[in-house]
């Protein structure tokens, strides 16, 4: 792990969340929590290559 203030350790997670927000989540949001959990879970499985 890097020292405090060096953000290189966060880069992969920040990239994942940026991609999730910009490419996957609908612009108008989700209609229900169940739909959001299912869709985001599917994205994470797809992103990890488990699909």
Per-residue pLDDT at 5 exceeds 70: no
- CB atoms < 10 A from the CB of 3, how many? 5
Q: What average pLDDT does this structure show over 2-17?
A: 74
pLDDT of residue 11: 77
Nearest to 39 by CA among 31, 18, 14, 16: 31
Confidence (pTM) = 0.60
pLDDT at 35: 93
């Amino acid at each position: 792990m890097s020292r405090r203030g060096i953000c290189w350790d966060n880069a992969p997670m920040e990239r994942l969340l940026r991609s999730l927000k910009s490419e996957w989540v609908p612009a108008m949001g989700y209609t229900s929590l169940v739909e959001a959990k299912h869709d985001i879970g599917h994205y994470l499985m797809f992103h990890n290559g488990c699909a």
